[in-house]
Chain A
Amino acid sequence: MLGMTQHITQLGQSVREGVSNTGRASRYLLRLLLGAFRAFGRPRLIVDQLHFVGNRSVAIIVVSGLFVGFVLGLQGYYTLRRYGAEQALGVLVALSLVRELGPVVTALLFAGRAGTSLTAEIGLMKAGEQLAAMEMMAVDPFQRVLAPRFAAVLLSMPLLAALFSAVGVLGGWLVGVPMIGVDDGAFWSQMQGGVDFVDDVLNGVVKSLVFGLTVGFVALLTGWDALPTPEGVARATTKTVVVSSLAVLGLDFLLTALMFGTR
């Protein structure tokens, strides 16, 4: 009987913890959004962070985009050729990149490349008591450290996703047109006929903004909450990758259902 009561108590406690964690996370999200908005008053800090999370991610994004485009070109060609529709290679490559692969793969790479370093940086600042020192000097570490990073993540994700999609389309063109010999005019004209600016390109941008918000929020909050020990920082870094990747994939399903589901 005692065991039963204990189980019920534990259940109640875990539910209460879950609810209060959700509330705390929403509070932090609001604070981060407000802080990011206010951080534009000090653009210097944002530019530094843009260099840190944006510029340093360009290489991995461009190379991955190119290879994803190559593979899409090859696979698409082999499948479309069965139906004699290899002219549609352009639409296939462009739509899959702009709608799905661009935002999603960029967000996953971004979580691995920039999200982890943000978490580790903030976790180590906490472990080294730099954040506490800032508070001692009456500097709000949330506004000084977290907010500019969040703003930089929000700004750089759509740019990186656009870069990924554009390079991917060029990669698909390189494989499709000069290498395999699909007609150049048909490749572009079918693409332009099949890709809509608002429905496809802008929806892709919206997706990448949402993913940027997710990855940035997860990375910063996990770093902020990290245990100030070497093990705690290591765990927090892993958690950032796992949680933000799963969140991005889950959100992608939701967004796709909302944006393209009824058509």
Chain B
Amino acid sequence: MDRKKTDGLVGLFVLAGVGAAVFLALRVANLGGVELGDAIEVRARFDNVGGLKPRAPVKSAGVTVGRVQSIGFDDKSYQAVVTLSLDRRFQFPKDTSAKILTSGLLGEQYLGLEPGGDSAMLEAGSTISMTQSAVVLENLISQFLYSKAADSAPSTGASGGPR
């Protein structure tokens, strides 16, 4: 076969392969999109992180402003220590509170930030003190059952003993 034709065809093949790899990197794995330009690390302590995972989004007002870096355990206070990296472009007040929320009924868990009113801002290495733990289904059900039992106890008492 013609030399030039072979070269051209092989060039096309290599370009297609490299293009596919770039597509996988940028469109599928979102390389570059997830990277936070310049991030500060902040910590938050939780009684229970539920199903939160490293790399889960940190959102404020529904907009992703950072990512969960790592989740550790403190054996002094028996709490989970969540390290998050926040985009430096966004400044949050010192009394910002963090909540673990779920997107949808069965969706992924993420960290929600609710800004406070302090004039000082969160800096690298500071700790978010106001946190709300993840909702654990079993606790929710037992709470519900206890409150049901508490509601129905006086009414059965009034009607005169157990049936």
- Whether B57 and A197, one on each chain, are in contact in the complex, defined by CB atoms closer than 8 angstroms, is no
Interface flags, B99-126, vs A, CB<8A=1, else 0: 0000011111000000000000000000
Q: A50-B13, A55-B9, A84-B105 are in contact. Are A98 and B34 (CB under 8 A)?
A: no
Contacts of A162 in B (CB 8 A): 17-18, 20-21, 24
Q: A94-B28, A166-B24 are in contact. Are A192 and B10 (CB under 8 A)?
A: no
Contacts of A100 in B (CB 8 A): none
Closest CB in chain B relative to A102 CB, distance in Å? 9
Nearest A residue (CB) for B19: A166
Contacts of A4 in B (CB 8 A): none
Q: Of B16, B23, B24, B107, which one neighbours A58 at CB under 8 angstroms? A: B16
Closest CB in chain B relative to A62 CB, distance in Å? 9
Contacts of B157 in A (CB 8 A): none
CB contact list, A8-41 vs B, under 8 A: none
- Whether B7 and A47, one on each chain, are in contact in the complex, defined by CB atoms closer than 8 angstroms, is yes
Contacts of A94 in B (CB 8 A): 28
Q: Of B23, B57, B106, which one neighbours A85 at CB under 8 angstroms? A: B106
Contacts of B107 in A (CB 8 A): 87
Assess whether B14 is interfacial by the CB under 8 Å rule. yes
Contacts of A83 in B (CB 8 A): 106
Contacts of A193 in B (CB 8 A): 30, 55, 57, 108
Assess whether B162 is interfacial by the CB under 8 Å rule. no
Q: Of B1, B21, B29, B104, which one neighbours A192 at CB under 8 angstroms? A: B29
Interface flags, A166-206, vs B, CB<8A=1, else 0: 11010000000000000000001001110111001100010
Residues of A near any B CB (own CB < 8 A): 47-48, 50-51, 54-55, 58, 83-85, 87, 94, 98, 156, 158-160, 162-163, 165-167, 169, 188, 191-193, 195-197, 200-201, 205
In whole angstroms, how far apart are the Cα atoms of A196 and B34 in the complex? 10
Contacts of B145 in A (CB 8 A): none
Contacts of A165 in B (CB 8 A): 20, 24, 28
In whole angstroms, how far apart are the Cα atoms of A197 and B31 in the complex? 6
Q: A193-B57, A205-B21 are in contact. Are A50 and B29 (CB under 8 A)?
A: no
Interface flags, B48-65, vs A, CB<8A=1, else 0: 000000010100000000
Q: Of B10, B18, B29, which one neighbours A197 at CB under 8 angstroms? A: B29
Interface flags, B25-41, vs A, CB<8A=1, else 0: 10111110110000000
In whole angstroms, how far apart are the Cα atoms of A24 and B29 in the complex? 42
- Whether B20 and A201, one on each chain, are in contact in the complex, defined by CB atoms closer than 8 angstroms, is no
Q: Of B9, B20, B21, B28, which one neighbours A51 at CB under 8 angstroms? A: B9
Contacts of A48 in B (CB 8 A): 6
Closest CB in chain B relative to A132 CB, distance in Å? 27
12 contacts between A and B (CB under 8 A): A51-B1, A54-B13, A58-B13, A87-B104, A156-B17, A158-B21, A159-B18, A162-B18, A188-B27, A192-B34, A195-B28, A201-B24
